[in-house]
Amino acid sequence: MTDGRTRRREDTRQRLFVAAVDLIAEQGFSATTVDHIAARAGVAKGTVYYNFESKTVLFEELLRHGVGLLTAEFRAAVDGLPPLEALGALVRAQLEYIRRYRAFAQLLLSEMWRTNREWQQTLRLLRGEAIAVIADTVQAGVDSGDLPADLDVRTASSALFGVGLVVAVDWLVFSPERPIDEVQESLLGIVRRVART
Amino acid sequence: MTDGRTRRREDTRQRLFVAAVDLIAEQGFSATTVDHIAARAGVAKGTVYYNFESKTVLFEELLRHGVGLLTAEFRAAVDGLPPLEALGALVRAQLEYIRRYRAFAQLLLSEMWRTNREWQQTLRLLRGEAIAVIADTVQAGVDSGDLPADLDVRTASSALFGVGLVVAVDWLVFSPERPIDEVQESLLGIVRRVART
DNA sequence: AATTCCAAACTGACTGGTCAGTATAAAAAC
DNA sequence: GTTTTTATACTGACCAGTCAGTTTGGAATT
């Protein structure tokens, strides 16, 4: 399974992902050239096309990879916890993720609300999967009475997702000198206050 | 000052702004061509270059125009109001603005947190001006004791700005069927709850 | 354990197309 | 008669994607 060949190939794909995520976070998808990605990854241009069908497919697989990781961490975070604690765990998991993969978070923030791009459908789907985990938790909170019964679950969930993203990335981009734990505290405080009613 | 000639020219520039904002909101700056902007605005390509130095300058002036408008509405909204009411007025003004200029808001959301682009400096500056109005209001609230004394004014202000943007645009993109007034209520509710401590 | 062989992985020059920006002559608006 | 706009053609740089050829890992053969 993991002989030298597949290991090597997997390594190349990983290097291409890392190069692509950094460049696309900085400049956006269209402004990032395949030549530049290849150079940053230290491979020839042909290698990009040997490993990925096209620039768009590379990006789509990158999105799947990155958001998939986030969704998995969400699932692991809430596992077995009662609603209110689970909500806090989600905020913590999201910020932990953003701290670890800041370039990907930045990229996500920039590309999430675009329309009319080829990969829009893919991203929408992935976003849905991640938010579903949040929504399940919020729903459980409403059912258990820990959250207000009139809370609009779908809206609250997507708002929570978006707010965490924007606050954390804003902090990283405009006040990188501050420790991100402060954002976490602040966000947790807000979520708790809102939940308390 | 506003003779026929300048009026006409101003009208052309306005049409170009509108065309550019729509296309860039959908596809991003790099994926939007000057030919396409010209066609959408119903003018010849040469006219774009008669009115703007370059594609980048057109975009920078667009940013200045759009954010300038927002800042002006912020200033008008808080004028003469006591801190807490002023805060509510800011949220309302921002959402009102986003409802009216949704494409611009979408564009702003996509380009705001990018690094390494020519216009990044411009946008950073403009963002600062808009947030300054919020920060003045928040500071006044802290001084008057309406807001908690230990509140980090700079952070709270930029968070407020970002959150309004992301929640509203998220709503517009992913749940356009719902009336935006609901976002306003929800956001106001959150801000009030946070302020109350 | 050295040699041969093959397919997978990778290379980089090349191609065809696209696009920002320029040029210009003529027309329209004021 | 000056400013603005049009229509069209052009240039040069850049870029996604291709492909014929090279390298590499390792399996088979001796």
Strand C bases, protein C-beta under 7 A: 8-14, 18-25, 29-30
Q: How far apart are CA B39 and CA B22, in angstroms?
A: 13
* Residues of chain A found within 8 Å of residue B182, distances taken between Cβ atoms: 152, 155
Assign 3-state DSSP to chain B and report helix, strand, coil percentages, each to 5.
80, 0, 20
For each of chain B's 197 residues, which pLDDT tens digit applies? 578 788 999 999 999 999 999 999 999 999 999 999 999 999 999 999 999 999 999 999 999 999 999 999 999 999 999 999 999 999 999 999 999 999 999 999 999 999 888 999 999 999 999 999 999 999 999 999 999 898 889 888 988 999 899 889 988 888 888 887 888 888 888 777 777 65
Q: Is the CB of B34 under 7 A from strand D?
A: no
Q: How far apart are CA A74 and CA A80, in angstroms?
A: 12
Which segments of chain B belong to CATH 1.10.10.60? 1-52
Handedness of CA A23, A101, A132, A149 (dihedral sign): negative
Is A2 in the B-facing interface, judged by CB distances under 8 Å? no
Structure tokens at B115: 């690094």
Which fold would CATH assign to domain A62-195? Tetracycline Repressor; domain 2 (1.10.357)
> Would you call A186 and B159 a contact, using CB atoms and an 8 Å cutoff?
yes
* Residues B55-195, CATH architecture: Orthogonal Bundle (1.10)
Is B169 in the A-facing interface, judged by CB distances under 8 Å? yes
**Is domain B1-52 classified as CATH 1.10.10.60?**
yes
Q: How far apart are CA A142 and CA A18, in angstroms?
A: 40
Please name the residue whose C-alpha is nearest to the C1' of nucleotide C18. Answer: B33
Exposed e or buried b per residue across A101-136, where buried means at least 16 C-beta atoms within 10 angstroms of its C-beta: bbbbbbbbbbbbbbeebebbebbeebbeebbebbbb
| Residue A88, number of CB atoms within 10 A of its CB | 18
Which segments of chain A belong to CATH 1.10.357.10? 62-195
**What is the spatial distance, in angstroms and rounded to an integer, between the CA atom of A90 and the C1' atom of C13?**
50
> Would you call A115 and B173 a contact, using CB atoms and an 8 Å cutoff?
yes
* Residues of chain B found within 8 Å of residue A155, distances taken between Cβ atoms: 171, 175, 178, 182, 186
> Quick one: B1 exposed, middle or buried, by C-beta within 10 A (0-12, 13-18, 19+)?
exposed
How far, in Å, are A86, A89, A154 from residue A79 at the CA level? 8, 10, 20
Helix, strand or coil, per DSSP, at residue A12: helix
Per-block mean pLDDT, blocks of 10 residues, chain A (197 long):
78 98 96 98 98 98 98 98 94 94 95 89 95 97 92 87 90 85 82 71
